[in-house]
Amino acid sequence: MSTDFVLPQLGEGLLEAELVQWLVAEGDAVELNQNIAEVETAKAVIELPSPFAGTVSTLHHAAGDTVEVGEVLISFDVAGAPAPATEPVAATAEPEEEKATPNLVGYGAAPRKGARPARRARAARSGDARAAADTAVLEAAPHDAIVEPPPERVRERPRSTPPVRKLAKDLGVDLALVPASGENGLITRDDVQMYADRVGAVPAAAAAAAPARRTDDDARVRRIPIRGVRKFTAAAMVKSAFTAPHVTTFHTVDVTETMRLVASLKADRSLADHRIGVMAVAAKAVCLALGRNPSLNARWDAEADEIVEYHYVNLGIAAATDRGLIVPVIDDADAMALPELADRISELALTARSGKTPPAAMTGGTFSITNFGVFGVEAGTPILNPGEAGILGLGSVARRPWEHDGQIALRDVMTLSLSFDHRLVDGAEGSRFLVDVASILAEPGRAMLMR
């Protein structure tokens, strides 16, 4: 029997995905949980496993198509699958209980029709693997590190099928303006054609034949579609910038002792499996300083009219990737020793480079770090991740003349840039946090005095 597989919800707030490529073809036999396609959400590229064992009968979309959650993606011929109902259901009949669909590994059970999707628990992230790659991908992140999704969509995408969307595009019709006559608000071909006839829409072909009014549609201009991670990041940046009152403060610190510590740890054979760098030391310093300054590890809950302070640190580390900026999160970073924290940063680097960071790994952060110093930039004004009270930017480490022990000497110097939500954090609190981080980087041994 033929069985359809619809695109599941791949993360909270993710209502669509772009089909990157098929990993199977029509006629292929597939096994349960065999990867069948790669799709790109607003957060990451994800491989979809098959929820059925059978034969691929129909691929309903081509690479590059945008597919909505709940839209049929692929059909299978599955032995023993129930045949689709052919008898109409009377309007007065009681609705039957929906049959369970096979579980899609990694994403939980499919949501029931009409039910509000339940929030999934974050997937556990292993800390056993040891990454040998350089962590530059995590350190090479622009200062405006934002990936948290807007909690609501301003405008829902009209429900329609790919052929109908193509017809609307050819006729120059905006689907958002077309009244829907189909079941559950589905826009049909007739709806589009009737709207086009009524308003006198100009077909795309006719518009193309008209004299060009623009001069930038030639080879001198490159047009890049705004989609995926970049579209998601842009929306989150705008939301954050115009919701939370940002304040940024700076502090330049002598990090010579931190650089010496890093060099000595790298030379220690017992720590050869751990890549402990400046980012890891800074992350540990942030965790310690947040314990002393809880207002920086909090969020503003406008609906409840409350400030929520966290007694744990889920630390976001900004990562620049080929597909855009993401901020994977290290859960309970404050409970980790320095080598373990360094290992997690290395693991995030490998996953981010491959584009396989799961959506669940980029939610739940309470504070973030971004490093624009690898670009040679001394300081910046980081933009907050929505829902977080602070973000720390790490500037470049430069060898400069500096006052030390009453004399001028060449020292390793770094500028720290802290942006915070002024609703949650006063200037004095922000300054104390920044000084705490700086004191650890200036004299790492001071960490022994903090709790």
**Tokens 């989609």, located at residue:** 227
Phi, psi of 267 (to 5 degrees): -85, -10
Helix ranges, 131-269 (H):
136-139, 162-171, 189-199, 204-209, 228-241, 256-267
Q: What is the mean pLDDT of residues 58-86?
A: 80
pLDDT range class, residue 181, cuts 50, 70, 90: confident
Predicted pLDDT of residue 209 = 58
Q: Would you say residue 43 has pLDDT above 80?
A: no
Pairwise pLDDT comparison (108 vs 410), residue with the higher score = 410
Predicted pLDDT of residue 206 = 58
pLDDT more than 70, % of the chain: 76
In angstroms, rounded to a whole number, what is the distance separating the alpha carbons of residues 400 and 232? 39
Phi, psi of 363 (to 5 degrees): -125, 160
Q: Would you say residue 140 has pLDDT above 70?
A: no
Predicted pLDDT of residue 45 = 81
pLDDT in tens, 154-171: 445 677 887 788 888 888
Q: Would you say residue 401 has pLDDT above 90?
A: yes
CB neighbours of 64 closer than 8 A, spacing ≥ 6? 18, 19
pLDDT range class, residue 115, cuts 50, 70, 90: very low
Predicted pLDDT of residue 253 = 97
Neighbour tally for 411: CB within 10 Å: 19
Predicted pLDDT of residue 157 = 63
Per-position DSSP letters for 222-250, written without gaps between them: ------HHHHHHHHHHHHHHTTS-EEEEE
Predicted pLDDT of residue 130 = 39
Residues serving a catalytic function are 422
Predicted pLDDT of residue 335 = 95
pLDDT more than 90, % of the chain: 42
Pairwise pLDDT comparison (103 vs 18), residue with the higher score = 18
Write the DSSP symbol of residue 430.
H
Backbone conformation region of residue 199, classed left if phi is above 0, alpha if psi is from -120 to 50, else beta: alpha
Distance of CA 21 to the CA centre of its chain: 20
Coil, helix or strand at residue 200 = coil
Predicted pLDDT of residue 360 = 83
pLDDT range class, residue 236, cuts 50, 70, 90: confident
Q: What is the mean pLDDT of residues 72-80?
A: 87
Q: Determine the residue type at 371.
A: N
Predicted pLDDT of residue 385 = 87
Nearest to 118 by CA among 8, 17, 229, 236: 8
- Sorted by where each starts, the structural domains of the chain and their CATH numbers stand as 2-77 (2.40.50.100), 136-151+229-449 (3.30.559.10), 161-208 (4.10.320.10)
Q: What is the mean pLDDT of residues 67-95?
A: 65
Helix 278-292 vs helix 256-267: crossing angle, to nearest 10: 120
Predicted pLDDT of residue 80 = 61
CB neighbours of 155 closer than 8 A, spacing ≥ 6? 176
Predicted pLDDT of residue 244 = 83
Per-position DSSP letters for 291-349, written without gaps between them: HH-GGGSEEEETTTTEEEE-SS--EEE-EEETTEEE--EETTGGGS-HHHHHHHHHHHH
Predicted pLDDT of residue 326 = 84
Q: Would you say residue 112 has pLDDT above 60?
A: no
348 with 111: CB under 8 angstroms? no
Predicted pLDDT of residue 413 = 97
Predicted pLDDT of residue 154 = 43
Q: Would you say residue 84 has pLDDT above 60?
A: no
| 255 HSE (CA, 13 A, CB side) | 27
Highest mean predicted confidence (pLDDT) among 215-219, 353-357, 437-441? 437-441
Q: Would you say residue 188 has pLDDT above 50?
A: yes
Average pLDDT across the chain, whole number: 79
In angstroms, rounded to a whole number, what is the distance separating the alpha carbons of residues 179 and 175? 8
Q: What is the mean pLDDT of residues 31-37?
A: 92
pLDDT in tens, 256-313: 999 999 999 999 999 988 989 999 999 999 999 999 999 999 999 988 889 999 999 9
In angstroms, rounded to a whole number, what is the distance separating the alpha carbons of residues 233 and 324? 8
pLDDT range class, residue 205, cuts 50, 70, 90: low
